[in-house]
Each structure stands twice: as structure tokens, then as C-alpha cells.
């Protein structure tokens, strides 16, 4: 940020954009926060005049007008390009994300991404998430394109609100329709579960399932996959209802989005049991039979993908698992493998890049919030201390909707930590997970103070985000196969 002599105001230099006869820019006004400045014709914008300059508040209406005036600010589809989702629970991290993405050649960013669960906990709407990303993209002058992910959609109503806001990427989460008990059910139980599937929604009959899959070889680039009766029944019993739900959501999206470009991801990662390669094959073939189009799929991989920490499990087993899933995605797509709960999985990134050849989508969310807390610990330790204390207070309750294994007894005790030691708390496994899953409680109690501090120290905030995402994106840069 500097003071541009043209305006005698603190202008973000990368945000100065000239389009036709109009110049747009973002400035930081100490009395008003950030505002949009416009010189020249400004039809459709709301603001107050200061001579030739129109100063506009960062409202939803002005965001809509700006996206109309500068088309590169509208979310786009990314196709099969290597991509990374940069969730932003505070609405302040996009400049840091963009600064890192600039250095990661070939990685397409999704800069607006938040699940409906996160919207509820942060008190933000899908429109606010998209608009916050828009202002961040303008601030950094990022004109290469970005996506907007309506994450973990479960109902048509969720799809409606995000589609109306302008999202381009829709992650369908049919986890509630996955029957995890089928993973270990006895053969007689499997037969009963399959008989009870919604066959009308699946547009087939049980006999069709057998004819379609038994006795057939499914060719991969190296080797073949075969179903026997038990593996077929297990796959159908476990995922049949999920397939029907995804098809229903896909058709609903197609009906409301009309000719607008959009793409869809299928996510079955938030389930209790891993997705076998045969189960992945069943999902892919059934979705394709039902006319569903998707750009990426997130299976439940082996091992544990917990929030905000590295992979827990056998890396050799994971490497073999990723190779099998990637081979199916190439043979029956192509589509990308998606890595959910993907933040901080530094040991996994080289493995999934090798397995997919860059046909991969990395999804992160809470890690940006954690790095914001790191910045707060550096510049305002008096605020970080009560946030950390709250994590001990709320962890047992807030962890219930997450797969985490942190133990509060192992986390560093606040009374023994000097101010200089606070940033390192974010590197300790248990403390990091506790702070991750208690974000909703922290925002409810300290949200205004958190945002005020980060706005006042935005350089420290952006630097923390940028450095962290540099580590995330290094393995993916230059690996994509293009759109």
C-alpha cells in the first residue's frame, strides 16, 4: 500500500484498474475502512462525491456493479486445471492467498469457498463470502481468474442460495446417504440393504445391477478391476443412496443454472470408512449412467485426514490407495481427485501429484484462520490469550462435528507461555486442532476484536497467509494438465 499522488489517498497500487474511460481502485480510509474509488463514468455505483472522485462503500450492490464492469472479477470454472481451494472464514485472507498463488504457476485458485456449516458458525452468507473474495481480488489486481466453491451442499435449498450468489463450483456432500454399516455387513444383510435401495431414483432394477457389473472386466491403464457378487453388493449398499442423491442434486443445479458455466464436485470423504477402489468405480460408473457430470471427486482415503494437521497413517498404504483412485479417475473420466481436509498435509502433496499427474484439487479452509491467529499472537498477544483459553473451554463440545484426535491435556498450558512463545502454539498438534474446531465459538465471542486487529495489522496477516500457502502450493505448481 502507498499514497498515490493522483488521489492523495492511501491506495492499494495493484488495485488501480483502467477500463474504458473509468479508473477503479481500492483505498484504505482510516475513518471508513476500505472503500472503492472511481474516477470517470460510474453508472450503477452508490457512493459519495469528493470532487471528481466517487467514494463507494464495499456493499453487495457495489460488488455486483463492479463485477459487471470488470468481468475478470466474476468467478469462473477451472475445469481440469490443477486447483486449490482457499477457504477464508474471516473474509480477510484473499490478498494473502493471491500473493501465494501468483508464484504457483498453473494452479487455479478457488478464492471464495465456505460450507453451509461454516456459514452458520461464522454468521456469514454465501453472498458475503463471494463479495469478500471479490474485494480481495481487486485489491491484488488478480486478473487470471478464480473459482467460487459452494462447499458441502446437502439440499436443493443450499444449492439455490449459492447459485443465486454467483458461485461456479458446487461440492455435493451425500455423506448422510452413505451407509457405513455396509462396509462390514454380513452377506445376508447386504442383500437386504440392496433390495431396499431407491431403485426408481436409480433408474434401474436389481437384476440390471448384476447384468451391468458381474462378469465384466473394467480396464484401467495398467490392469483390470472385477466385481464379485459380495463386492458389488457392498458397493451398492454403501453408496447407492448417495448416488441417487448426487444425481438429484445435479439435475436440480442444471435446472436453475441454465446456460451459465458451472461445475460440480462429488464428496464422500466425510464418512467413517474408506472408499475402496471398487466402490469408487461403482460411484463413477453409476453417476455417468445417470447423466451426471463432475470435475472432481473426493473419496475417503485410507488413514486419517484430520483438520489443520499432517496425514496420520501409513504413507506407503496411502500411496497405493491414491494410485488406484487416480487410475480410475483417468480411465472413467478424466476428472480430478480432490483432497479434502487437505490443509497442512505436506507429506501427502508429492504423493497425490505423482499419482494424478496434476489432475488434483486441494481443498483447505480452517488453516487460513489458524494463520490469522498466528499473526494475532505476534502482534496482539493480549487477544490471543483469551482465544486460546476459550479453545480449552469449548473443545469437547465443538469437536463433535469433526474428525479430530487432539487432547487438551497435551496442549501447552497458557499460564506457562510467555508472549514470545505464543506464535509457536500454532505448531503444536493438539493446540492447533483445538483452535481449528473452536473457530465458531471464538468468532462469536471475539470476532469483532479479531477482525479489527487483523485489519490494523494486515501486512502481518497477509505475510502469515502467504508464507503458509507457499508451503501448500509448492508441490502443485507447474504440474497441471491445463483446462
The H or E element spanning position 369 is: helix 366-379
Single out the catalytic residue among 131, 151, 179, 279.
151
Neighbouring residues of 374: CB distance < 8 A, sequence distance ≥ 6:
423, 426, 464
CA 230 vs CA 65, 183, 198, 277, 465: distances in Å: 57, 11, 19, 14, 48
The C-alpha angle with vertex 435 and arms to 429 and 440, in degrees rounded to 5, equals 150
C-alpha cell recorded at residue 234: 457392498
- Beta strand 33-39 with 83-86 is unpaired
Q: Are 446 and 369 in contact (CB under 8 A)?
A: no
Q: Which ranges of 222-334 would DSSP assign to H, the alpha helix?
A: 229-257, 277-289, 315-331
CA 218 vs CA 57, 213, 283, 284, 288: distances in Å: 57, 9, 14, 12, 14
Read off the DSSP letter of residue 52.
Answer: T
Whole-angstrom distance, CA of residue 122 vs CA of residue 447:
9
CA 442 vs CA 95, 225, 448, 451, 466: distances in Å: 23, 48, 10, 12, 23
| Helix, strand counts (H, E) of the chain | 17, 17
Residue 407 designated active-site: no
Q: Are 306 and 433 in contact (CB under 8 A)?
A: yes
Single out the catalytic residue among 118, 158, 265, 306.
265
Q: Are 474 and 104 in contact (CB under 8 A)?
A: yes
Neighbouring residues of 109: CB distance < 8 A, sequence distance ≥ 6:
83, 84, 85, 86, 97, 98, 101, 146, 147
Residue 433 designated active-site: no
* Positions marked catalytic: 151, 265
Amino acid at each position: 500500500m502507498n499514497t498515490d499522488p493522483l488521489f492523495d489517498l492511501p491506495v492499494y497500487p495493484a488495485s488501480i484498474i483502467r477500463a474504458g474511460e473509468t479508473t477503479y481502485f481500492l483505498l484504505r480510509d482510516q475513518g471508513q475502512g476500505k472503500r472503492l474509488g472511481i474516477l470517470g463514468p460510474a453508472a450503477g455505483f452508490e457512493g459519495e462525491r469528493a470532487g471528481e472522485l466517487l467514494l463507494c462503500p464495499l456493499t453487495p450492490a457495489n460488488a455486483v456493479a463492479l463485477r459487471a464492469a470488470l468481468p475478470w472479477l466474476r468467478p469462473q470454472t477451472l475445469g481440469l486445471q490443477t486447483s486449490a481451494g482457499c477457504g477464508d472464514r474471516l473474509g480477510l485472507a484473499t490478498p494473502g492467498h493471491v500473493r501465494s498463488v501468483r508464484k504457483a504457476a498453473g494452479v487455479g485458485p478457488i478464492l471464495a469457498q465456505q460450507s453451509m456449516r461454516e456459514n452458520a458458525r461464522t454468521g456469514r452468507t454465501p453472498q458475503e463470502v463471494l463479495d469478500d473474495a471479490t474485494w480481495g481480488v481487486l485489491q491484488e489486481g488478480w486478473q487470471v481468474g478464480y473459482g467460487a466453491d459452494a462447499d458441502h451442499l446437502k439440499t436443493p435449498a443450499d444449492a439455490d442460495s449459492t447459485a443465486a450468489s454467483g458461485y461456479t463450483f458446487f461440492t455435493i456432500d451425500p455423506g448422510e446417504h452413505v451407509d457405513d454399516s455396509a462396509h462390514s455387513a454380513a452377506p445376508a444383510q447386504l442383500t437386504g440393504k440392496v433390495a431396499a435401495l431407491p431403485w426408481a431414483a436409480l433408474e434401474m432394477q436389481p437384476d440390471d445391477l448384476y447384468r451391468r457389473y458381474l462378469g465384466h472386466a473394467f480396464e484401467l491403464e495398467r490392469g483390470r478391476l472385477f466385481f464379485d457378487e459380495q463386492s458389488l453388493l457392498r458397493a451398492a449398499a454403501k453408496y447407492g443412496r448417495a448416488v441417487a442423491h448426487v444425481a438429484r442434486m445435479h439435475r436440480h443445479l442444471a435446472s436453475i443454472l441454465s446456460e451459465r458455466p458451472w461445475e460440480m464436485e462429488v464428496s464422500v470423504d466425510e464418512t467413517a470408512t474408506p472408499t475402496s477402489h471398487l466402490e469408487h468405480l461403482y460411484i463413477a460408473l453409476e453417476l455417468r449412467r445417470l447423466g451426471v457430470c463432475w470435475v472432481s471427486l473426493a473419496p475417503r482415503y485410507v488413514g486419517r485426514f484430520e483438520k489443520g494437521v499432517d496425514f496420520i497413517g501409513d504413507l506407503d498404504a496411502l500411496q497405493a490407495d491414491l494410485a488406484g483412485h487416480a487410475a480410475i479417475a483417468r480411465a472413467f473420466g478424466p476428472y480430478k481427485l480432490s483432497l479434502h481436509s487437505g490443509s497442512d498435509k505436506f507429506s501427502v502433496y508429492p504423493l497425490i501429484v505423482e499419482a494424478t499427474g496434476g489432475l488434483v484439487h486441494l481443498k483447505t479452509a480452517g488453516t487460513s484462520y489458524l494463520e490469522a491467529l498466528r499473526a494475532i499472537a505476534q502482534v496482539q498477544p493480549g487477544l490471543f490469550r483469551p482465544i486460546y483459553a476459550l479453545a480449552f473451554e469449548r473443545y469437547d463440545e465443538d469437536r463433535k462435528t469433526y474428525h479430530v484426535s487432539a487432547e487438551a491435556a497435551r496442549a501447552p498450558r497458557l499460564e506457562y507461555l510467555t508472549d514470545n512463545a505464543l506464535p509457536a502454539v500454532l505448531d503444536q498438534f493438539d493446540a492447533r486442532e483445538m483452535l481449528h474446531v473452536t473457530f465458531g465459538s471464538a468468532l462469536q465471542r471475539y470476532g469483532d476484536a479479531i477482525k479489527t486487529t487483523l485489519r490494523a495489522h494486515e501486512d502481518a496477516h497477509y505475510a502469515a497467509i502467504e508464507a503458509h500457502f507457499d508451503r501448500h502450493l509448492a508441490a502443485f505448481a507447474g504440474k497441471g494438465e491445463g483446462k
